[in-house]
């Protein structure tokens, strides 16, 4: 099986934690800060952090445009926390996004930094067992609308927190900060099945 290279956007936020998970799973990866580095990867992870800061930092090399183009042409992408805000169709309070994922989100809906928490999640049977797990929420967005082509893979109470659409996998929490590797494993499977 071909092992494709996964890039982790490394402009701001929790990119090192994602790189560490990929290393633990023996998945070839690299940090992405430039257009040339983006072109060298087969898939991309958009980490948590501050979405408006990431958008500003992406401007210099037109990375937002380049990421959107690559995703529209089939590049798999995993977005976590602020990364989901970057991909969402609509964001409240209003903010620019790449509008690649047919969901609406509310920024910081689970509270500010001091309200960070570890919550019990319920996973869809399509993911490997067990059907319960934990998720780390830090200034997390809430998905308030899901389009008809979006599959929900996990919930916090009744809120969707892990969704999939085509080659996009998006978690409103931080799977890279917990011990449950199933989100990254699913993404790696998606990437390497191309």
Is residue 1 one of the residues assigned to a domain? Answer: no
**Domain assignment present for 11:** yes
Q: How many CB atoms lie within 10 A of CB 179?
A: 7
Range of the domain at 182: 6-192
Domain-located, residue 53: yes
- Specify the 3-state DSSP secondary structure of 113: helix
- Domain count for the chain: 1
Smallest Cα–Cα separation from 88: which of 154, 136, 150? 150
* Assigned domain for 51 exists: yes
Does the residue 177 lie in any domain?
yes
CATH code at position 88: 3.40.50.880
In the predicted structure, residue 1 carries a pLDDT above the cut 70 = no
In a domain, 143, yes or no: yes
Q: Which pLDDT score, from 0 to 100, does residue 3 have?
A: 72
103-146 pLDDT, tens digit each: 999 998 876 665 578 889 999 987 777 888 999 998 899 999 99
Q: What is the pLDDT of residue 23?
A: 96
Residue-level length of the chain: 194
pLDDT digit string, tens, across residues 79-107:
999 999 999 999 999 999 999 999 999 99
Average pLDDT over residues 44-68: 94
Within-domain flag for 36: yes
pLDDT reading at 5 higher than 90: yes
Residue 12 lies in a domain: yes
Catalytic residues: 81, 174, 176
CA distance 54 to 47: 10
What's the whole-model pTM score?
0.94
Q: Are strands 132-137 and 117-123 parallel, antiparallel or unpaired?
A: antiparallel
């Amino acid at each position: 099986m071909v092992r494709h290279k996964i890039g982790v956007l490394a402009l701001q936020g929790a990119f090192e934690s994602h790189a560490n998970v990929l290393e633990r799973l023996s998945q070839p990866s690299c940090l992405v800060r430039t257009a040339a580095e983006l072109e060298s990867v087969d898939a991309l992870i958009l980490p948590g952090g501050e979405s408006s800061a990431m958008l500003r930092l992406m401007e210099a090399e037109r990375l937002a445009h380049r990421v959107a183009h690559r995703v529209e042409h089939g590049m798999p992408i995993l977005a976590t926390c602020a990364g989901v805000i970057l991909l969402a169709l609509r964001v409240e309070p209003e903010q620019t996004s790449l509008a690649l994922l047919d969901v609406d989100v509310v920024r910081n809906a689970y509270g500010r930094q001091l309200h960070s928490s570890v919550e019990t999640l319920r996973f869809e049977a399509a993911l490997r067992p067990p059907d319960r797990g934990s998720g780390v929420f830090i200034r997390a967005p809430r998905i308030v609308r899901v389009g008809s082509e979006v599959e929900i893979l996990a919930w916090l109470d009744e809120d969707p927190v892990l969704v999939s659409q085509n080659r996009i996998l998006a978690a409103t929490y931080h799977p890279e900060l917990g011990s449950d590797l199933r989100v990254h494993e699913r993404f790696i499977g998606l990437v390497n099945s191309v």
